[in-house]
Homo-oligomer: A and B are copies of this chain.
Amino acid sequence: MSKISEGLERAFASRGFAEPSVEDLRDAAGVSLRTLYKYTPSRAEMVLAALENRHQRYLTRVFDNLPNEPEKALDTILSRIGKWMETETSHGCLFHAAVAADPRSQPLRALLERHKAEVATRAAAAAGLSSADTAPLVIIEGLTQAWPLRGEAAVDAAKRLAHALRSLGA
C-alpha cells in the first residue's frame, strides 16, 4: 500500500537508515506492526519500499514537463534538483545513503544502479546528448552532494558547468 511506502520514505529520509526502529517505522507508516510486516516482511524490505517510492517521486518532480529546447532543459533539471534538495532532504542522495548504510546488500545496489541509470539517461536525452555521455550524471551527482555544503551556490556552479559543457561540445 502506498500510504505505507510514503511513511517509510519520510521516516528514513529524516532520520537515516540506522536509527529508526521498526516500531518507529510502524508509527510513520500509520499501520499496525502486523500489517507493516505483511507488506514488507523484513526491515530490509521496508528500506526497499521506501526507495521505490522515492524513485517515482524524484523522477516526476525532476523530469516531468521539461522544456523542449535542449539548452534550457538541463538548466531546468538542475534548478529542480536544487528545489528538491531544499524541500526533501538536507544531506545528499537517499539511495547512496541506503547503500552506504548497508554496503553488502545486493538488492540495494541494484536499486541504486537502476535509479541512477534512469536519471542519467533522462538527463542526457533532455540535454540533447548521447545517452552514454557520463557528464550530465557527474554534474547531477556533484550538485546533489555539494548542495548540503554550499546551498544555492552549488546550483549556480552546476549550471555553469552545464553551460561550459554545451559550448565546448558544440
Interface residues of A in 124-170 (CB under 8 A from B): 133-135, 137-146, 149-150, 153-154, 156-158, 160-161, 163-165, 167-169
Given A144-B145, A164-B167, A165-B161, are A92 and B101 neighbors across the interface (CB < 8 Å)? no
- Chain B residue at minimum C-beta to C-beta distance from A145: B141
Assess the B141–A153 pair: CB atoms within 8 A: no
Contact of A168 among B15, B133, B167 (CB under 8 A): B167
Assess the A135–B157 pair: CB atoms within 8 A: yes
Question: Residues of B contacting A93 with CB < 8 Å?
Answer: 145
Does any Cβ of B come within 8 Å of A91's Cβ? yes
Q: How many residues from A make CB contacts under 8 Å with B?
A: 49
Interface readout for A5-42 with B: 1 if CB under 8 Å, 0 if not? 00000000001111100000000000000000000000
Chain B nearest CB: distance from A7 CB in Å? 18
Contact of A101 among B18, B112, B150, B169 (CB under 8 A): B18
Does any Cβ of B come within 8 Å of A67's Cβ? no
Does any Cβ of B come within 8 Å of A83's Cβ? no
Question: Residues of B contacting A156 with CB < 8 Å?
Answer: 134
- Work out how many copies of this chain go into the complex: 2
For the complex, would chain A's binding face be called helix, strand, loop or mixed by DSSP majority? Answer: helix
Does any Cβ of B come within 8 Å of A80's Cβ? no
Does any Cβ of B come within 8 Å of A97's Cβ? yes
- Tell me, in angstroms, the Cα distance from A154 to B113 when the chains sit together: 15
Assess the A100–B16 pair: CB atoms within 8 A: yes
- Chain B residue at minimum C-beta to C-beta distance from A132: B153
Does any Cβ of B come within 8 Å of A116's Cβ? yes
- Tell me, in angstroms, the Cα distance from A133 to B156 when the chains sit together: 10
